[in-house]
Amino acid sequence: MKRQYLSHFYSATTLLALLSLLIFSCSKPNSPEKAPNILLIVADDLAYADLGSFGGDIETPSLDQLAKEGIRFSQYHTAPFCAVTRAMMLSGNYNHVAGMGSQDLVTGVPGYEGHLSERIIPIPELLQQAGYHTYTVGKWHLGLRPEDNPHRKGFEKSFVTLEGGANHYSSRGIFPDAPESPYTENGQKANWPEGAYSTDFYTDKLISYIESNREDKQPFFAFAAYTSPHWPLQVDEKYWEKYEGRYDEGYEVLRKKRLESLKKAGIIPSNASLPDLHPIVTPWDSLSPEEQQKEARKMELYAGMVDNLDFNVGRLVSYLKEKGLYENTLIVFVSDNGAAAEDFYYSSYFGPFLQENYTDTYEEMGQENSFISYGPQWAEAGTSPYRYFKGYTTEGGMIAPMIIAGSHVLQTNQIVDQFVTVMDLAPTFYQLADLEYPADWKGKEVKPLAGKSLLPILQEGKNEIHDSTYVFALEHRGRIMLRKGKWKLLNITAPYSEENFELYDLSVSLDEQNNVKERYPEKYEELLQEWNTYSKSVGVRTPTPRLGEGLKD
């Protein structure tokens, strides 16, 4: 009798346990065992034409392997500046909606808060609802207040520099208002480890974060926001010495070579041509031998930084494979904008501080005490075949490389030439996590997502997610663009005035050299109306600060 009673007791207990387990598993959008990990890797100011898999000349074997295992996107569009892209990336929405209407301009005007707004939900906050661990390392650049810190925006663990750039070897500041670069770990002030190199250290830190919770089997969202190859150009000699002499022919020759190598790689159309150089670029042949030597070294250092970045991406991938995590991890690699043309060492505002605290002598280039940028001349080669570079709403300022590989990518070694944007990443991650984007958050209404999931491309091989009626637009410091299908509305002229708007048909040419505003007046009026509708809906304010005036990257 006692044995029979115990038998019934254990059966009931087992049944209750099973029911509890079933209820618990159904209460989560995705069970931790099935939800994919997400690794988002962002390079800072990496140019479109750098990577080997895109036809570039820099050695990037780790990223090239990722490209073979996944998809390269040749028409991935960002914002023209770092912080603006990051706001759009982490929100899945337009920069004004996300609070970053102008980089580093902090105001009380909606759209220009200078930090993530309450009109959006940051990716890590929502992913936490699906049981994700959330980690970030590297560059934050989305607000300096304690309440803007990644620790308060959904990141469980973080080690970041709060500014738009930093010395790669020390906490020595690079901006006059921050003589010592501010770092935080998990929201608390942190010190930079003496002698550590940025990309190496951030990789170590991110791996340690993932490893700290690996045994609990919960999925993770890891955001590797590297500060490389952002200026100042600093890297150990072992990474740049292999490129010594490679760029002695100059930036104009490299630009032409990359035009052809990108064609050969299938990244750009075979009929693509080079636009006119920006007028501030000094012809290579007009430089003295000493000036040419120094210019070539700039590009060698930049290539060495990209080389080191690729090495560390390889370290992340190797770690995932060694720990059995790779098979269930979606890996997204992107850059945040076009190639960087700034050279603050000689600017009227930044120059005095930098010249007092750094050197630009040839003998010390690349070291901790050296401040070097590669300027508009090499940036033009980096954005080949597109017009101009970072800071502009031209294609050269807003087009960047993107590679997606790993879990849930069923297409391999493919090139997708359909138009996609940085705002498409958040919807992709949410669909993977089986999450619905809510209409309100923490008691406040939020704007709906402006992007679309990339999964139809990644899994089904579809050619596009945005049809010819989709509108993508952006304003920053008076420079504007609006894209609708093959048509692009553009203004890069100051002061801001609608009479300066231009119209381009990008199906004919990608170089934005032939303004067809007069030829297609009806199409121009159509896009102008789209612009007016968009600018009112997101709260664009004009006039804005004069283009590039006194603002940091």
End-to-end CA distance of the chain: give it in Å, rounded: 80
Number of neighbouring beta carbons within 10 Å of residue 517:
17
Strands, E assignment, 235-345: 329-335
Give me the residues paired with residue 487 across strands: 484, 505
Please report, to the nearest 10 degrees, the dihedral formed by the alpha carbons of residues 484, 485, 489, 490 taken in order: 110
Give me the residues paired with residue 43 across strands: 335
Catalytic one of 77, 82, 466, 476: 82
Strands, E assignment, 78-162: 133-139, 157-161
Residues 6 or more apart from 490 whose CB is under 8 A from it? 393, 394, 480, 481, 501, 502, 503, 504, 512
Are the beta carbons of 441 and 449 closer than 8 angstroms?
A: no
- Read off φ and ψ for residue 248, nearest 5 degrees: -70, -15
CA 534 from chain centre, in angstroms, equals 23
Give me the residues paired with residue 220 across strands: 133
With vertex at residue 129, the alpha carbon angle to CA 208 and CA 157, rounded to the nearest 5 degrees, is: 25
Catalytic one of 96, 115, 133, 141: 141
- Measured CA to CA, the distance from residue 382 to residue 90 in angstroms comes to 26
Token representation of residue 77: 């569009």
- Using a 10 angstrom Cβ sphere, with 0-12 exposed, 13-18 middle and 19 or more buried, the burial of residue 387 is buried
- Measured CA to CA, the distance from residue 379 to residue 382 in angstroms comes to 5
Task: Tell me whether residue 230 is one of the annotated catalytic residues.
Answer: no
Task: Tell me whether residue 141 is one of the annotated catalytic residues.
Answer: yes
- Measured CA to CA, the distance from residue 404 to residue 254 in angstroms comes to 27
Active-site annotation, residues? 82, 141
